[in-house]
Chains A and B, each alone.
Chain A
Amino acid sequence: DIQMTQSPPSLSASLGDKVTITCQASQNINKYIAWYQQKPGKAPRLLIRYTSTLESGTPSRFSGSGSGRDYSFSISNVESEDIASYYCLQYDNLYTFGAGTKLELK
């Protein structure tokens, strides 16, 4: 089974900051990584698929990059509506989520 190590577990940011979350896979996942946003009491929302492809409706301040085993997700100019938890998902070989990152306001 592929393991996904996501960090940090939590982030504190001010409005307008840039934040970055990383996920490292236990093996090459060939860019098959997606990023989800989840707000309390809601289902996850797909933001980015295949490393860097933004879903329709995802603001351009969200971005993703990476290759091989190492991937990152960034939010530039954090807005109040971005306060949520974020999860990576590998879908190269079955499916594994990262442990999540909780983004809070400083």
Chain B
Amino acid sequence: QVQLKESGPGLVQPSQTLSLTCTVSGFSLTSNSVHWVRQPPGKGLEWVGAIWSGGSTDYNSALKSRLSISRDTSKSQVFLKMNSLQTEDTAIYFCTRWGPPFAYWGQGTLVTVSS
């Protein structure tokens, strides 16, 4: 069955770089796109970006200058890197597979930006 699981540091210092990994199973990254969605505590959902089956990427225009999404198809992993983190980047970060639309989700991982 389709599964996604996020992993990464729970705490990041301000101005540092966040690195998250989404490990997937039950489907191929070369046939499906994977997206990142985040949710600040107690707030709504925000689409962060995507890596498509062909390897191209799309990013939220508000985050584009700080964001990079890549993948390792041999390991079935998708990576998110976001630099210059600020406190407002504190959120649960979900990876999700295109359904359409977002039909399969990981459990999410909480990232806290704090010194």
Contact = CB atoms under 8 A, between A and B. Distances in A.
**Dominant SS at the A interface?**
loop
Interface stretch (A17-25, A42-50, A64-72, A76-84): A42-50
A96 to B, nearest CB: 7
Contacts of A99: 44
Contacts of A91: 100-101
Interface string B82-102: 000000000000101001111
Contacts of B101: 32, 34, 46, 49, 89, 91, 95
Interface residues of B, number: 20
B58 A100 contact: no
Given A46-B99, A91-B100, A97 B47 contact: yes
A44 B102 contact: yes
Contact of B61 (A1, A46, A55, A87): A1
10 contacts: A34-B102, A43-B94, A43-B108, A44-B102, A46-B99, A55-B103, A89-B102, A97-B45, A98-B44, A100-B44
Interface of A: 1, 32, 34, 36, 38, 43-44, 46, 49, 55, 87, 89, 91, 94-100
